[in-house]
Structure 1
């Protein structure tokens, strides 16, 4: 029996590995386009020279190294973090519509960025980062603490309700500050649109350890999420410690969502749609869902950034707006094709 099950599993494993290679190829294409396409198109040969043999007296080399490499790296980090954190959120809450907005992450980050702008005079992206990260972390901790109250502990319904309530409260505070401070509104609206522009590597690299830590925790949590998907009672019967699993996932979500929201703004639909697309290839196994999301998330965000540069030449549209525009019909198609109760 064991031999038969092993033989039966081989075609599925080959299919999943093939899917991973295809996703990796798509990501490579998105990176190449991000470095070559824009208001000033650059050939791939010049891109390679600019990266490996730069001559800063050549304008195209300067454009690639100083402008496009930083925004591509930030798109990769933010997309990776959003894709994986979306899979974790949907797994831990057993809510197929979970995304960084569900647990109040976007609202917390937005509120604290606005506080930094309005009360501390922060104007640079490198300053927004730490306010956004702190706000995202506090929001997630508060939501989990509220959702854990009561005899049953942190259930999916209580976490969703707590996140919705906190988001409403934070959004009200944001509106009050924006209505009373026109200068803060002008600076805040650029960050809140979800853009990869004007985010230098000096703002992203200090947060790289948080992304790495979040990814490691997500990989560890994959098997736990498979148990939680069976329901709390059955997961306990299989020996799964529910508190440990939820705390581990919550910490990973703080690390990943906080970082993504900090460096790229409150981008929607990446964390929501990417895990569903991954399930088309993987089925319900969260270990593979997380792996696919790690490739599909940055592919989507970087591709959206490229599209935003092309459709509005010589200007551009923020990546967050493009993702929202593309994500809406995708989400509608997913809802029509997939039985959400089975997720």
Structure 2
């Protein structure tokens, strides 16, 4: 009688190099199609046909001021925002799961979401913040400041040598910010009304001018993220093996956490807290790429961008003429999927190779 043994590589997901180029091409095509649909579909009076005429360069459609407002000033910015938020959360989630070696690690673990929320409440309550652009700035500053505090505490306590301790520091600080936010909101009803709209998670009202200052921040985060791919791949073999290859686990995790903070800070500033996307996109990418982290980062960014675009399109048409917050749709899909992942035999460690 023979017993078939499963290899560790099979348990963690075998890399499929033949699928990665095809998957990348397919996802790029899907994102392009969804971008077009996002420009054509909306809650306003501009129909799909009229929007298509405008995009095709029809002179009559181009002369229509209302149509130009709907396509260029409303739909185009939120389409760009959906792509930006999706790419940032997809890459950040994949990077965080690799750094912590936890396939269920979520992008809010470093305190970025709670730090951004606390900063928004402070700006609304004591600094008279009212415009969406100002809220975006406060959210970005709060998120990055919270993650900076987490990284400083982790570095000073050598917590970065343990991925679990890094997550614990982030969770503790996040809980602290959450409590402070609730305390401030208890005495300010007007602040609560504005904060409630921001924290529900939506792309409505985003303007192109709001996105431009975030592009350098997101670009830096992506650059650091892909630069961490090879060192994190070495960490997937274990800290001792990584040290023998010349890598410093603590510094690598600090760099990865810094990239995650920048990326999640940009996403939270644009759309508010978005749950599940940074968890599910890396999982889907890992089923196609195996343990190769660079391919995981690329496919995770494309998958998250496609999901974010699709969710935003559905948010405009599910409850016409009103909009459904995009975070609600993602939660309705992400919750059951997370339960299925946790109960399935596919749950595996996030081992990585370059």
TM-score, normalized by length of structure 2?
0.89
How many matched pairs? 333
1:241 maps to 2:245: no
C-alpha contact (below 8 Å) 1:50/1:65 kept by paired residues? no
Q: Assess if the C-alpha contact under 8 Å between 1:275 and 1:289 holds in 2.
A: yes
Distance 1:336 1:95 in 2: 16
Does structure 1 residue 225 correspond to structure 2 residue 232? yes
Q: State yes or no: 1:42 paired with 2:52.
A: no
Deviation at 1:148, TM superposition (A): 3.1
User: Does the 8 Å contact 2:83/2:305 carry over to 1?
Assistant: yes
Equivalent in the alignment of 1:140: 147
| Aligned CA distance change for structure 1 residues 102 and 35 (closer, same or farther; 3 Å) | same
Q: Judging changes above 3 Å, is the alpha-carbon distance between structure 1 residues 52 and 159 closer, same or farther for their aligned structure 2 residues?
A: farther
Q: Distance in 2 between matches of 1:78 and 1:208?
A: 11
1:125 touches 1:263 (CA, 8 Å); kept in 2?
Answer: no
Within the candidate set 10, 20, 25, 2:29 is matched to 25
Matching of residue 282 in structure 1 with residue 286 in structure 2: no
1:122 to 121, 125, 129: 129
Structure-1 residue corresponding to 2:339: 332
For residues 275 and 27 of structure 2, what CA distance do their matches in structure 1 show? 21
The 8 Å contact of residues 144 and 154 in structure 1, kept in 2 or not, is answered as: no
Q: What are structure 1's unaligned runs of at least 5 residues?
A: 1-10
Aligned to 2:183: 176
How far does residue 254 in structure 1 lie from its aligned partner after superposition? 2.0
SS at match of 1:13: coil
> Alpha-carbon deviations, 1:156-197, whole Å to 9, x = none?
111111111111111111111111100001111111111101
1:278 CA drift (Å): 0.5
Q: Distance in 2 between matches of 1:52 and 1:94?
A: 55
Pairing 1:13–2:17 present: yes
Cα distance change, pair 181–154 in 1 and its aligned pair in 2 (3 A): farther
TM-superposition CA deviations, 1:78-98 (whole Å, max 9, x none):
111111011111111112222
Structure 2: state its 5+ residue gaps. Answer: 1-14
Counterpart in 1 of 2:269? Answer: 262
Instruction: Calculate the aligned-residue CA RMSD, in Å.
Output: 2.0
In the TM superposition, residue 21 of structure 1 has moved relative to its aligned partner by 0.7
Q: Which residue of 2 aligns with 1:5?
A: none
- Which residue of 315, 322, 329 corresponds with 1:315? 322
Change (3 A) 1:290 1:51: farther
Compared CA separation, residues 66 and 117, structure 1 to 2 (3 A): same
CA-to-partner distance for each residue in 1:261-297, whole Å, 9 max, x for gaps? 1111111111111100101111111111100011111
Equivalent of 1:200 in 175, 192, 207: 207
Report the equivalent of 1:109.
116
Displacement, 1:52? 10
Shift of 1:51: 10
8 Å contact from structure 1 (residues 85, 252) kept in 2: yes
- Looking at structure 2, the residues matched to 50 and 166 of structure 1 have their Cα atoms a distance apart, in angstroms, of 52
Q: Which residue of 1 aligns with 2:217?
A: 210
Q: Is the 8 A contact 1:221 1:245 kept in 2?
A: yes
Map 1:39-118 onto structure 2 (within 5 A). 39-40=43-44, 41-43=47-49, 45-49=52-56, 55-118=62-125
Match of 1:295 among 292, 296, 302: 302
* Cα pair distance change 1:87/1:121, threshold 3 Å: same
CA pair 26-47 structure 1, distance change in 2 beyond 3 A: farther
